Structure 1
């Protein structure tokens, strides 16, 4: 069997975000449209599809951190001043879901992603939050979904939150629209985020967590992410049976050449 030829991605100059890779196995994507509150556009969607494929095939990258430039917002969703995402010139049944471009899971990229949220995180920004494996935020974070306020059905983003936070919290956010925002402490209480930091400490903390995760074998990380993510769609008893195949396949690959007794003991922290 021949060796799989990996795609060549070069060093593209992304216009909607900054892509950086460090020597500790962490790639950082920084949304870089602060003048537009880091809202996404179709050009951003094209660039995200490219970067997820790039990360997928780069064995030097084990974990991705997604963060955002500027002081006001992580992201406020689709850029409505650029016409939003939907194309009014074609049939609504031909529209595509932004998540097909923006999200790592929908692009079959199974390396862990950590979201570092500050400021406003609204509407379509949940495409990223919903597909993140770890979400942390700074003290100024505000989560909300304004769709119904503007006469739009809130559907895809709230549905993506199922399994992450309680139904009642999802519906409260979706139905109250612009009249209420979820602050950092409430986000922590309902499980939307797992940690709160200062604004200054947000990015360093996200990278610190990513670097810790990146010390683990890549196949073990990918298998864990894929198994648990796909199990969310299954009844518990079936999920338990189906996910057994992942360690059956992945453990042998991940542990090849790894002597368990030589793995250094971690200086663990209590959370």
Structure 2
């Protein structure tokens, strides 16, 4: 969600609207796009993004920190020998994407992207140009229905589920209510992955600034959006019995396996962690 407001009509900044897209309702992926300086957002997204920023002025920087974690964790995993990635809730493609980061290190990396927003789909198909040595595919699916993701023929063509897979769930689990039981959905995915696989999560933390979080939840709910920040314990549950990699489940800015954390790692209100299946 970008650096500057753009005013005007309901259309995107270039006026192109894919079929099946309701641009009058804010959408998390397009708000995120606006916060990080993208162009693929509409008036409703910018308006809600600005309301979030009234409650948490640093939210554009927090989105950037979330994105920076994704870059760090993909590099870390690729250097550790992982060659297969399942990125669920990929959002609007913003370079570099997972496959670009991974294939820059190892050209044979394979990536399956999953999202369920028509705008994401349009852009993913245009931008997901894989290194010829690797493979990249995009699935239109919902993480709350994990069996459909796992059974998808395209996933089976790209990923070998007998070999380690890194499952990325970056800033997506907050879109499911507790009553949807996202923990069981994630567990279904984890159980399908072999030993040596990884799970990386970032999740807005309710416990960093509860008052500010309550304000953005109210704004989101008022616009018909689901947004569920969670505390450390509830985010920790997503990793089930997998082994957290150092430094554990920490503020996103503190997850620095190859460097020093910043002076104030609590400045971005996300929990972040990486775990490995034994």
Which structure's CA Rg is the greater one?
Answer: 1
Q: Give the TM bin, normalised by the shorter chain.
A: under 0.3
